[in-house]
Amino acid sequence: MDIQELKSLLKPGDLVTVQTPMFQGDGVVFAIFPKERFPIQLELTQPDGDGHAMKRVAWAEIKFWQPN
C-alpha cells in the first residue's frame, strides 16, 4: 500500500506496526495531525525500554495497517 492510499484510509483506533530508527512495535493510532512532520500519534502495546508508550511517527514508518 502506498502512502497516499494509507493517508486516505488510516483513522484513530486502527492497529499498526511501525519501524523507526529509534523503536519498533505494534500500536493503536491515537490521533492524526496531517500538517506535522510526524503526523501519526500512537500508543504502543508494549512501552519502550524507558516506559514510554505514546509515540509520533511518519507515514513511511508504518509497515502494517489493520483497520479497526
**pLDDT tens track for 15-47:** 999 999 999 999 999 999 999 999 999 999 999
- In 1-68, where does DSSP find H-type helix? 3-9
> pLDDT band at residue 2, thresholds of 50, 70 and 90?
confident
How far, in Å, CA of 50 to CA of 65, rounded?
25
- Across the chain, mean pLDDT equals 95
Mean pLDDT of the 37-61 span: 96
Q: How many domains does the chain fold into?
A: 1
Tell me, yes or no, if the pTM score tops 0.85.
yes
CATH number of domain containing 23: 2.30.30
Domain that holds residue 48: 3-66
Q: Looking at residues 3-23, what average pLDDT do you find?
A: 94
